[in-house]
Structure 1
Amino acid sequence: MSFFQKALASIGIGSAKVDTVLHQHILSHGNLVEGEIVIKGGNVAQTIDNIYLRLHATYEKESNDRTYTESCVIDSFLVGESLEIGANEQKTIPFSFPLSIYTPFTLGKTKVWISTGLDIKNAIDPSDQDYVEVQPNALVNKLLSAVSELGFQMKQVECKESSYKRNGIPFVQELEYVPVSGSFYGKLDEIELSFLTVDDKLIELVVQVDKKARGLGGLFAEALDLDERFINVTIKDEEKNIIKQQLFNMVQTYS
């Protein structure tokens, strides 16, 4: 192994490369993320100190009257340590991990991806990233169907920075709905569903009910945000058949 080859590997030329192959790119909460990490040796043998996977998502952040897109790490996993990879050698490492309950849906502008990294001393660390689609699972779809059946239509979806941090996650995903028919048409401006945690057996969210302003008092209340009500809601899988009635009763109480 020549000094020249080592020097080239240290700047990424002829160094080891990594490629992550996911078994499935469409996921829902309650699923395992499964795949293989393929490491291909370069022109020289190298020692890999750590192999890690990180789950990322984008969110919107406001600063100085500007809105811009940020990203954060939702979860991270150490897959392997102290691995020797010879010149031109190939090694495959299988992995699986549960999709984090804090992962947002890839609705609107939200993007979710998995990055793979190799820590190699005295070299540029090889990396790879793979985008995934995160869809609502059966329990969430039951909730969203109930919202639609009550006469609400989705207006927009955003992952927004929040002062309320769950497990260090700096954003909350909000699904905004406006009434277009049914009992709440003309009574409410909108409702927002802010998802805190999602699994296939349980959902935790905050429902914001925004009443429609009526008269001068209503206008003052709207200006001071006094017309908004925030309700903490937990929905369990065994309650899925009564979600619509529960949602109606709750919104009716605060509208």
Structure 2
Amino acid sequence: MLFKKLLSSIGIGAATVDTKLAKAQYVQGETVEGIVDIRGGSIEQHIDEIYLALVTTYLREIDDKKHEEKAVLARYKVSGSLTIGPNETKTIPFQFALPYDVPVTLGSSRVWLQTGLDIKMALDPQDRDHLAIEPHPLVAAFLEAARQLGFRLHHVQCEQAPRYWQRRLPFVQEFEFKPASGPFKGCLDELEAIFFLSENSVEVLLEIDRKARGLSGLFAEALDMDETFVRFTYGTGDIPALPQLLADAIQKYS
């Protein structure tokens, strides 16, 4: 029995966990529902806690090199202490609301749920389930407005943010657009957007990268003086006018 307990404590013949989601695709802020299935190993085990961690990755610059870091967006307690017998199965339902700042899974951005059993003196069994995160309707409206103005979504990436941009998390998700057609083709090199989303509104930080013109333009570009930051906020009622609002903001600073 002692030998079995030792094997169980190092993860051999121990309890296993499997999280099953009602669906794999969600919108920012949406409620996630599912169940956690636990199957006992070869010996009775006491579990202190069952938890779900919502995890993503972002790029952090260290000594001029970019490194991928993990970030826990939220942690959810599914169950308190319980005992699982040999080969016993338990099913525990759960639900939680995704945070509004969960990254959209476009480009290189990935989001997953990591399930763990907190067992004293044991390697925690873990289970990883990837989620597809769609933009919130307010963010989707901006992407559509940009498309109508001739911008093409070129790149999406989570990167470490300067302190003055940071909110709850150490990073922001950047959406980079290129003018492929329309009134801003030839005027801008690119347009970058960062969204600070809440339930009923979104604050947008725009970085407008003007196209260099002549020697003075090239000089400004070399010193990053060609970039202008613009902030504006909009809500659901502003969506019909959003293409014009975006066009006016870009026109003013380009």
Q: Give the TM bin, normalised by the shorter chain.
A: over 0.9
Cα pair 1:50 1:81 within 8 Å, conserved: yes
Once the two structures are superposed, the pairs formed by residues 26-175 of structure 1 within 5 Å of their partners are 26-163=25-162, 164-167=165-168, 169-175=169-175
1:245 is matched with 244
Partner of 1:123: helix, strand, or coil? coil
Once the two structures are superposed, the pairs formed by residues 3-22 of structure 1 within 5 Å of their partners are 3-22=2-21
Partner of 1:166: helix, strand, or coil? coil
**Which deviates the most, 50-59 or 154-163?**
154-163
Unmatched tracts of structure 1, length 5 or more: none
Q: Distance in 1 between matches of 2:187 and 2:73?
A: 38
Cα pair 1:41 1:85 within 8 Å, conserved: yes
Q: Distance in 2 between matches of 1:34 and 1:92?
A: 13
Q: Distance in 1 between matches of 2:198 and 2:173?
A: 11
Cα pair 2:54 2:112 within 8 Å, conserved: yes
- Between the two proteins, what is the percent identity of the paired residues? 46
Q: CA deviation at 1:95?
A: 0.7
**Which deviates the most, 153-162 or 103-112?**
153-162
Q: CA deviation at 1:215?
A: 2.5
1:186 is matched with 186
Q: Distance in 2 between matches of 1:158 and 1:121?
A: 37
Unmatched tracts of structure 2, length 5 or more: none
Q: CA deviation at 1:198?
A: 5.6
Residue-by-residue CA offset, 1:96-115 (whole Å, 9 max, x unaligned): 11111111111111111000
Q: CA deviation at 1:202?
A: 2.4
Q: CA deviation at 1:75?
A: 0.9
Residue-by-residue CA offset, 1:193-239 (whole Å, 9 max, x unaligned): 1123365x322221111111222222222222222111122221121
Partner of 2:73: helix, strand, or coil? strand
Cα pair 2:157 2:175 within 8 Å, conserved: yes
Q: TM-score, normalised by structure 2?
A: 0.94
2:224 is matched with 225
Cα pair 1:29 1:198 within 8 Å, conserved: no
Q: Distance in 2 between matches of 1:99 and 1:236?
A: 20
**Equivalenced residues, count:** 252
Partner of 2:170: helix, strand, or coil? strand
Q: CA deviation at 1:45?
A: 1.3
Partner of 2:32: helix, strand, or coil? strand
Residue-by-residue CA offset, 1:42-65 (whole Å, 9 max, x unaligned): 111111111111101111222233
Partner of 1:235: helix, strand, or coil? strand
Cα pair 1:20 1:35 within 8 Å, conserved: yes
